[in-house]
Structure 1
Amino acid sequence: MKPLEGGRAGQIWGDGETVTRPSGAWTPTVHRFLRHLRSSGFLRAPQPVEIAANGREIVSYVAGRVCEDLGDPLTGSEPMLISAARLLRDFHAASQGFLESDREPQRWMLPSQEPREIVCHGDFAPYNVATADDEAVGIIDFDTAHPAPRLWDLAYAVYRWAPLSDPSNSSATSSLDEQLRRAEIFCTAYGATSEERQALPETICRRLQALVDFMLARAAAGDDTFVEDVASGDAKLYLNDIAYLRRHRARLLQMLC
């Protein structure tokens, strides 16, 4: 086993076949959901193996390269944006039915959002998408999966893949025009409706505010991970991005609609 690069350094290990990572109270629900995806024909997510007694989960390894740097040119290429959006669309289609068919008590890390249409991934970003050449081929890290509308997931995905960030945020790797172009490509490839496009800017802002609220609450409860995130300024960056999106809402709507 060797440590895998990315978030939570030193806590995620792989051997080329499986990945061992920290588990949580939500992991049994997530494992049932991953089995549902596979039974629905979606094979581009990890397959659960077991939840070990040492507080770790073991899942199958999803081959591919992930982009930790949102400024990676590959992330913003048209083929990558199109394939990522279609991957999210296919995942959402496979997600349908789990909330109704699962008969065991469900626990999620993030709060559910109404209407509970599907189980969203919750963090569909380049660092959680496996790629091969210039194509998105798989999704990893389902810790943040939770029931919500499809638009809730699409909003965060567009925010990350554009990425729609204020210039003061290190994630702002491209001009506003380029961000808007990428957002439109992603929405078109996903198949976003006119109603979804109209609601997207405000939904992104609500999604980011929900993330900030969750981070601050977990930090206040003493969760070391979120204490570090807040101390490093992550919450402030999201709030800056909310203000940035609201300043440019008209431009975004013009491009999308």
Structure 2
Amino acid sequence: MKQLEGGRTGQIWRNGDTVVRPSGAWTPTVHRFLRHLRRTGFQGAPEPIEISGEGQEVVSYVAGRVCEDLGDPSVGSERMLISAARLLSDFHSASEGFLEVDDEVQTWMLPPREPREIICHGDYAPYNIATVDDEAVGIIDFDTAHPAPHLWDLAYAVYRWAPLSDPANPGVAFSLDEQLRRAQIFCTAYGATAEERRDLPETIRGRLQALVDFMLASAAAGDETFTEDVDAGDARLYLGDITYIGRHRDRLLDALR
């Protein structure tokens, strides 16, 4: 088996055409959801194979290059941005109906958010997108999938892909002007409504606050992954970006119109 790069070093492995990764209490629900995506014809997600008795899940390998660095000319290109937005839109369409047809007890890592319109991915960021020839073609890591409004997922995606993060933060490749332009491009390619665009800034801020709250609670409960994230300063960064987005809210709204 070959260790895959990215988060959770030493825990995610490729074995031929499959990926072996840690499972959680939510994994059975996620696997049912992944089967639902397949039934709707959406091919851009892993196919669930099994959940072992050793705390691991096995899913199909989603081919493509994964890279979170938007400073990479390929990853940060407008072509990639548009394809990522369209892929998210297709995924949201495919996710509709799962809540109505799934009659088993559902367990999710993240708490559901009302209204429960669809199943959101929960972490639609460049590092969870498989790309081929400068286009987004697949989505990986569905641990954070959970029921919520379309806008809840779109908000986090725009935050990550614009990205709407203070340029003073490490690794932020774009100026505010470019971030605003990219946010508008993403929303247009996704097909965001006028109402969604109007509500986007405050929804992004609410989504980030919910993330911080979840991280801090998980770290306090002894979850090593989130403890490491908090110690690394991730929560402080998100709180800073909440302030950053609030400070530039009016300019963001103007750009989105």
Normalising by structure 1, we get a TM-score of: 0.98
- Matches for 1:164-203 after TM superposition, within 5 Å: 164-203=164-203
List per-residue Cα deviations over 1:182-232 (Å, max 9, x = no partner).
111100000000000000000000000000000000011011111111111
Partner residue of 2:29? 29
Q: Write the letter of the residue equivalent to 1:155.
A: A
Partner residue of 1:6? 6
How many Å separate the matches in 2 of 1:73 and 1:157? 19
How many Å separate the matches in 2 of 1:72 and 1:238? 23
How many Å separate the matches in 2 of 1:73 and 1:245? 25
Partner residue of 1:205? 205
List per-residue Cα deviations over 1:102-123 (Å, max 9, x = no partner).
0100000001101000000000
Range moving further from structure 2, 7-16 or 242-251: 7-16
How many Å separate the matches in 1 of 2:227 and 2:256? 36
1:96 maps onto 2:103 in alignment: no
- Matches for 1:152-163 after TM superposition, within 5 Å: 152-163=152-163
- Matches for 1:1-257 after TM superposition, within 5 Å: 1-257=1-257
Structure 2 SS opposite 1:50: strand
The 8 Å contact of residues 116 and 147 in structure 2, kept in 1 or not, is answered as yes
Q: Write the letter of the residue equivalent to 2:199.
A: A
How many Å separate the matches in 2 of 1:39 and 1:142? 17
How many Å separate the matches in 2 of 1:36 and 1:186? 26
Moved over 6 A (4+): none
Structure 2 SS opposite 1:20: strand
The 8 Å contact of residues 76 and 182 in structure 1, kept in 2 or not, is answered as no
Structure 2 SS opposite 1:41: coil
Cα deviation for residue 152 of structure 1 reads: 0.3
Q: Write the letter of the residue equivalent to 1:30.
A: V
Gaps of 5+ in 1: none
How many Å separate the matches in 1 of 2:114 and 2:50? 31
How many Å separate the matches in 2 of 1:16 and 1:244? 44
Q: Write the letter of the residue equivalent to 1:142.
A: F
How many Å separate the matches in 2 of 1:210 and 1:16? 37
How many Å separate the matches in 2 of 1:135 and 1:229? 29
Cα deviation for residue 15 of structure 1 reads: 2.4
Gaps of 5+ in 2: none
Q: Write the letter of the residue equivalent to 1:166.
A: D
Q: Write the letter of the residue equivalent to 2:168.
A: S
Cα deviation for residue 133 of structure 1 reads: 1.3
Cα deviation for residue 74 of structure 1 reads: 1.9
The 8 Å contact of residues 45 and 139 in structure 1, kept in 2 or not, is answered as yes
How many Å separate the matches in 1 of 2:75 and 2:203? 23
Structure 2 SS opposite 1:185: helix
The aligned length equals 257
- Report the identity percentage: 77
Structure 2 SS opposite 1:119: strand
Normalising by structure 2, we get a TM-score of: 0.98
List per-residue Cα deviations over 1:66-99 (Å, max 9, x = no partner).
1132332222211111110000000000000001
How many Å separate the matches in 1 of 2:171 and 2:100? 38
How many Å separate the matches in 2 of 1:218 and 1:73? 35
Cα deviation for residue 16 of structure 1 reads: 3.4
Cα deviation for residue 170 of structure 1 reads: 1.6
